[in-house]
Amino acid sequence: DQQVKQNSPSLSVQEGRISILNCDYTNSMFDYFLWYKKYPAEGPTFLISISSIKDKNEDGRFTVFLNKSAKHLSLHIVPSQPGDSAVYFCAASPYGNKLVFGAGTILRVKS
């Protein structure tokens, strides 16, 4: 049973527009959520995170929103750039513990 779900396997967006990647989770013990970005033939790299006591965290073009009641989080990229084309993994954990990853969403930003 997947505790972290990314229901969209892929997303295609025009350069300059907003990209919205979604993630749902089932375990109410999760209190820490992260997004990782992965290019082909490379390991995942940390992008942005949010604690369960917050509902929003912003870092430049990247913003993560958390809706605890819906057990849903989303990553917004504004504006999207061709270099953002990658696989994005959502991950969750109780802080300091093991991470549980979603299946990933392939983002393609078209120029």
Partner 1 sequence: NAGVTQTPKFQVLKTGQSMTLQCAQDMNHNSMYWYRQDPGMGLRLIYYSASEGTTDKGEVPNGYNVSRLNKREFSLRLESAAPSQTSVYFCASRDRAANPLTDTQYFGPGTRLTVL
What residues make contact with partner 1 under the rule CB under 8 A? 4, 6, 9, 32, 34, 36, 41-46, 49-51, 57, 89, 95-96, 98-99, 101-104
Measured from the CB atom, the residue of 14 and 45 that comes closer to partner 1 is 45
Residue 66 CB, nearest approach to partner 1 (Å) = 12
Other Cβ atoms within 10 Å of 38 Cβ, number: 16
Q: How far is the CB of 57 from partner 1 (least distance, A)?
A: 7
Please report how close the Cβ of residue 89 comes to partner 1 at its closest, in angstroms: 6
Q: 36 forms bridges with which residues in the sheet? A: 46, 89
Nearer Cβ to partner 1, position 9 or 82?
Answer: 9
Residue of 51, 49, 42, 37 lying closest to 81 (CA atoms): 37
Our CB check for partner 1 shows the closer of 17 and 46 to be 46
Give, for 51, the enclosing helix (H) or strand (E): strand 45-51
Q: Across-strand partners of 24?
A: 5, 72
> Which of residues 51 and 67 has its CB atom nearest to partner 1 in the complex?
51
Least distance in angstroms from the C-beta of 14 to partner 1: 26
Please tell me whether the peptide bond between 79 and the residue prior to it is cis, using omega within 30 degrees of 0: yes
- Dist. CA 103–CA 66, nearest whole Å: 19
